[in-house]
Amino acid sequence: MKALNYLKIIALLLPGFGLILFFLGMILYVAIFQSFGLFNLSGEDNFTLQYWEKLFNRKVFYRSVNYSLYVGVISSIISVALAYPIALWLRKPFYGSIIINSILKAPLLVHGLVAAFLFVNLVAYHGIINQIFIFIGLWDEPIRMQNDKNAIGVLILQVWKNLPFALLILLGSIQSIGDDVIDAARDLGANSFARLKKIIAPLTISSMQAALIIIFIGALADFSFQSIAGPTNKYSLSQLMLYYKNNGRWHEAAGVGVTIMIISFLGAIFISYLTKFIFFGRKINEFK
């Protein structure tokens, strides 16, 4: 009977989910084997490791990996860290909460490329911020803030764009916690911090993981923010992939694409286990 039910579920999911898996599988298949010299667009196919050897022997590849990891990790942590207290604040409706919620989610409606151009207009050498600060006498001449070497502008854009997304996920999870659970903990003597640590946080761990993973993957592979507001002396992995593609080096570009997929997969696993260990590791050890 159970097997029959599983078959029915698979049959229902197959038309939609099956097609998604099929096309994603084809993309993965082509990208992986293209990085090994197959699916050559301009010559004969030849299975080889030379393209991976070229990548591993270039310092720019390692710098791109480190830089993309830096942007992905920092952006996801800051976005979720800011969204979580806001979600707690908006958990119970109050006068004006709907307006505040709508304003905070407004960046979801703005395309990333448009947001990057708007940001450049703010921080450019003759941008709005420089003009305002010169007008009020805070400094005498414009200061260069665009394309800073620490990618602060990219991080600001990533957080601005991803914070509403994290808020959307976390707010739904927090609001699903019943008032009776919170009230029972309060009646048993748990203060606000104890209720957050022992009830709210464990019950919202799945949504926190989802927000961290999705933001990390998106920021890791981002191109638009980096190309407009990022440092000029560093390539992100997506920029490096485009560079190889524009120069006709499709196999190396495929290798960079596969690298993005591998880092995304391993990063998702690491985030999942790390968050579970932080919230449940001590309890599991005490139980043992």
Which pLDDT tens digit goes with each residue over 83-113? 999 988 888 888 887 888 888 888 888 877 7
Degrees to nearest 5, angle at CA 243 with 41 and 150: 155
Segment 280-286 shows an average pLDDT of 51
Q: Which domains does the chain have, with CATH numbers?
A: 52-112+150-287 (1.10.3720.10)
Q: What is the DSSP string of 226-286?
A: HHHHS-TT---HHHHHHHHHHTT-HHHHHHHHHHHHHHHHHHHHHHHHHHHIIIIIHHHHH
Mean pLDDT of the chain: 82
Q: Say if residue 2's pLDDT is above 60.
A: no
Give the predicted TM-score (pTM) of the model.
0.83
Quick one: pLDDT band at residue 3, thresholds 50, 70, 90?
low
pLDDT value at position 211? 93
Identify which has the larger pLDDT, 166 or 109. Answer: 166
pLDDT value at position 284? 42
Segment 29-39 shows an average pLDDT of 81
Query: Minimal CA–CA distance to 261: which of 221, 225, 222?
Result: 221
Q: Say if residue 193's pLDDT is above 80.
A: no
Segment 40-49 shows an average pLDDT of 75
Helix-then-strand count for the chain, H and E: 16, 0
Q: Say if residue 207's pLDDT is above 60.
A: yes
pLDDT value at position 18? 65
Rounded to whole angstroms, the Cα distance separating 87 from 83 reads 6
Segment 21-47 shows an average pLDDT of 77
Quick one: pLDDT band at residue 10, thresholds 50, 70, 90?
low
Alpha carbon distance, N-terminus to C-terminus of the chain = 36
